[in-house]
Amino acid sequence: MKARFLTYGLLLGGLLLLSAQAQTGQTPAKQAENQPGHGDKSTHGVAAEVKLSDYGGSEALRSDEDREEIAGILQAQLTETVHLGMIAKQLHWTVTGPHFYGLHEQLDDVADFSREYSDMLAERMAALEVAPNGSPEKIVDNCPVEPVPTGFLDDDRVVQMISSKLKGYSERLNERIERLNDLDLTSQDILLGLHHKVDKYYWQFGVQLENRRELAQQRDQKDRK
Ligand SMILES: [Fe+2]
């Protein structure tokens, strides 16, 4: 008995659907799509224009002055990060000596990390509607870091050079992290990620410096005996 009622119910439902479609010439799904308010926010079925300034995130709440200041900090960090990547690649190619292979690999890691973070910094600037500038002219004219010598270099000298570059980079990065404290935590988060990586590389190169100093002292003591 129950099964018979169910069959009648299904048949009746199907007939009602067919009748609605015959009246409008559209399927029920199509009719729902054409209802005002479906899909886009327009009541005329025309997709509303997407504007960044309409975005409801924290960016929309910032003043133009704040965005300019945040972007200035990000641009300075971008310039230094692109430059650091170039230095690391140059030393990756020119390092020589018994520790060539390890340093060659480590320097490539620094170049890769610089490229990855340059992209994050630049895209954060673009999200704040300020155009990033990674042109060679901008990097050369604005980076506060001295270039490294060209030509082949001893491994010891390379370790000292890259350690000193990372130290300066980390100090300026710290200042920018502080400045972003009250300005933009999202941008600060990118710089904190950078800090974590730079500290790691500084430690890895620094350990080699320490080891080499110890080895040199042991050699000196041996020679004196
Ligand atoms: Fe390579």
Q: Which CATH number do you get for residue 68? A: 1.20.1260.10
pLDDT, tens digit (0-9, with 9 covering 90-100), for 163-201: 999 999 999 999 999 999 989 999 999 999 999 999 999
Domain-embedded: residue 51: no
Please report whether residue 55 resides in a domain.
Answer: no
User: Does some domain include residue 58?
Assistant: no
Question: How far does residue 90's CA lie from ligand 1's centre (Å)?
Answer: 10
Asked if residue 73 is part of any domain, the answer here is: yes
49 located within any domain: no
Give distance in angstroms: CA of 158 to centre of ligand 1: 16
* Domain hosting residue 158, numbered range: 63-224
Give residue 93 CA to ligand 1 midpoint distance, Å. Answer: 7
Residue 22 in any domain: the answer is no
Whether residue 40 lies inside any domain: the answer is no
> For residue 191, is it within any domain?
yes
What pLDDT digit, counting tens, does each position of 193-202 carry?
Answer: 999 999 999 9
Q: 179 CA distance to ligand 1 centroid (A)? A: 36
State pTM to two decimals: 0.70
Domains identified in the chain, total number: 1
* pLDDT tens readout for residues 90-136: 999 999 999 999 999 999 999 999 999 999 999 999 999 899 999 99
Q: Give which of 83, 91, 85 is closest to 153, Cα–Cα.
A: 91
